[in-house]
Structure formats: structure tokens, C-alpha cells
Amino acid sequence: MDFDKALLQQPMALTAQQVDFYQRNRLIKIKNVLDAATIQYFNGRISQKVAELNTERRSLEERDTYGKAFLQLFNLWREDEAIKALVFSPRLASIAAQLVQADGVRLYHDQALFKEAGGGITPWHADQYYWPLSSDKTVTAWIPLQATPLEMGPLEFSAGSHQIVEGRGLKISDDSEAQIQERLRVTDFEHVIEPFDIGEVSFHSGWVFHRAGGNSADAVRKVMTVIYMDKDMRLKAPENSGQQNDWESWCPGAEVGAIIDTPLNPVLYERN
């Protein structure tokens, strides 16, 4: 089986209502971004690559909360040309550029997130805690590689929670789950928890709080993600060890204050 290469090359135009919804909530779920055949193809291809590269040998019981949440592998675009076609897809990148209202977007990095059967929760967190980036013009495409019912632990969001500053300084942990959940409990932000259909993709900004439940199904919840940033994004001085590690890992050679223009951060889409 192959995938529809033409579909991945075709930008997807959003409506003004969709962009407005994202700007208000800093998240959006969009149906039919990809077709079933494409999802099925990449399910197989990415699963094969994760099996090859995964080095986690501990049982779930031996891991901490972060380790129980998912198997995590990065920058698979460098390992496989077919996966690169998905990560570099103008279809996905065009959506990202429209949502963050940028003239174009670069790749920050990709990652596969496989939540094993019986895997635990992904605690509440905001991704940009880990990113040494100068603005919030960032967006993550969360691409389930199968239909994802609630029992598999789909991504959940606190809509509009990018407005909250409290909790931004917490890495993914039991503490972030407890403290952010308590903070969100006393707000009016909608808790969005919904299944994902085949081909449905969510997009969320770096500062919106999100989590995922455990996987009580008997199958792995397989997800591919691509993180985009404004093509003119500049590197900021790291504010924690996570940001220092991300600088060294995902934008090596970039200089503080300069546009992050490195071989690992190509421009994936520019608007005409």
C-alpha cells in the first residue's frame, strides 16, 4: 500500500471562522485533513521505525509517570524518506501558517508518541516550557494514526488557557498534573475531551495547557506530531535546562537573538 503523495502536497485553505476559533482558543480539531489510506500507510511505516529505534526495555511498572505516558522518538524525518514526506507536507504546514498568522513556518521538530496498552496519563502541561523560542507563534499538529476513542487517551485541552501564566514553569510531571488541574478548576476555560476520527488532526499552540488520559484499550495509541514555528522565529536565551537541551538538540548552531535558520529547521511552507 502507498499513500496519496498529491494530497500531502496540496495546501488546505481554512475559513476565517476556523482561524478565529484557533486564535481565541489556541486549539482546533480539523476533520479530513488526511484520508484513511494515508493514515493506514503511515501507521505501518511509523510503527516500523519506532520498533527499530525504540530503546525502552523497562516494563510500565518500572517507569515514572513521564515514562508510562508514551514511547517518544524524535525527528523521524531524518530516518525515513517516506516519513519525511509527511513531516514536510505542505498540506499540514499550510494549516499551521494560517493558524499562527505567519507568512511561513519552519520545522521545530517532529516526534512519535506511542501510548502503550495500559499506558498512563500524560499530565497537564504547556509545551513551550521546553522551547527557547522568542514568541508564541508555534503550533503542534497532533496526528492520530488510527481512530482514537476516549479509552485510548486522546489529547485533551483547556481551551483558551494560553492566557494563564501560572503553571508555565512546570515540566511534565505529577506536580504539573496536580497544580495545573487545580488552577484550571477555578477558571471558566472549557475542557475539550473528544475522540478523534480517522484523518482528524488537532493543532494547538505552545502555551495552551493540555493532557491525555491513560490507554485502557488493548492496542497502542499511535500518534505522530509535527511542531511548527514562525519562519522568522528567533532563538531566546534558555530559561531552564529543558530549553538548553532543546537548543542543543533541535536547533544546533542557532545563535541567541538570530532567526533559527539551521539544517534541522527548514522552511516548510511560505504563503504567496
pLDDT in tens, the chain (272 residues): 677 889 999 999 999 999 999 999 999 999 999 999 999 999 999 999 999 998 877 777 767 766 655 689 999 999 999 999 999 999 999 999 999 999 999 999 999 999 999 999 999 999 999 999 999 999 999 999 999 999 999 999 999 999 888 878 888 888 888 898 888 886 889 999 999 999 999 999 999 999 999 999 999 999 999 999 999 999 999 999 999 999 999 999 999 999 999 999 999 999 87
| Measured CA angle at 111 (ends 270, 227), to 5 deg | 30
Instruction: Identify the three-state secondary structure at position 173.
Output: coil
User: Within 10 Å of residue 242's Cβ, how many Cβ atoms?
Assistant: 15
C-alpha cell at 189: 476555560
Which pLDDT score is estimated for 188?
A: 81
Give the start-to-end residue ranges of the domains of the chain: 5-251
Q: Which fold has domain 5-251?
A: Jelly Rolls (2.60.120)
Radius of gyration of the chain (CA): 17
Element (H, E) at 50: helix 36-53
How distant, in Å, are the alpha carbons of 77, 97, 168, 171, 203 from that of 176? 30, 30, 9, 7, 21
Which pLDDT score is estimated for 15?
A: 98
Decide: 128 and 72 in contact? Cβ < 8 Å.
no
Give the span between the Cα atoms of 252 and 186, in whole angstroms: 40
Which pLDDT score is estimated for 171?
A: 87
Which pLDDT score is estimated for 76?
A: 98
End-to-end CA distance of the chain: 34
Which pLDDT score is estimated for 62?
A: 67
Where are the extended beta strands (E) located within the chain? 27-30, 71-74, 104-115, 122-125, 138-144, 155-158, 191-193, 201-205, 210-212, 221-230, 267-270
